[in-house]
Amino acid sequence: MSPTRKFKRLKRFPEYQTGFTLIEMVVTMAIIGIVSAIAIPNFSKWKEKHEINGQAQKVYFDLMLARTTAIKSNNDVRVTFDTTAHTYKIHEDSDGDGTEDAGENVKNAVLENDVQFAYNTGITDTDGNGVNAAVTFGGTLVFDSKGQASSSGSVLLLHTNDIGETDDRARLISVLEATGAVDYWVYSAAETPPWK
């Protein structure tokens, strides 16, 4: 006797299919488009603010390091700014001759992410004085073995999209001659004075 087999019949199409209708897809794509149109410009502004903050903090910490190195090594440390190339150099001048010699520590730094040494006309420094240069202590700053600076001054930084447009994201690093103190400032037009 041969056993009988039962075969199940396979269904080609399920009785109920789930999915999206064309209208649901179009509405979803429209919502995504609207949200993107609002979010992308805001993301771009946030990214630029992040970039200016990062570069200003880099300059601030490098100046702090230069001062600390001068005290620790008992040598002059020179910081030279090139506002045209948007670079700066930190040179530990161990023999005090003002030139880079073999064996002396030198660090070269470049401003990145469209951040420049720059200022807009009409901006003032932390003391309320009008600014006429992005680096106000003549391009070279020297920290001596006591941590004092060769002169007081400031370094102003702007994102390239803000040059000639707004000071809202301006950053300033100030140096005080007598103590060599280095401070980091953020511009805020809503406050008086505008640097906080």
Burial 22-53 (b: 16+ CB within 10 A, else e): eeeeeeeeeeeeeeeeeeeeeeeeeebeebbb
Q: Yes or no: say if 181 and 175 are a contact pair by the CB < 8 Å rule.
A: yes
Q: What is the rounded end-to-end Cα distance, in angstroms, of the chain?
A: 98
pLDDT of residue 56: 97
Question: Could you report the per-residue pLDDT of 53-82, keeping only the tens digit for each?
Answer: 999 999 999 999 999 999 999 999 999 999
pTM, entire model: 0.80
Q: Does domain 22-186 have CATH number 3.55.40.10?
A: yes
> What residues pair up with 77 in beta bridges, in sequence order?
92, 143
pLDDT of residue 110: 97
Residue ranges of alpha helices (H) inside the chain are: 22-73
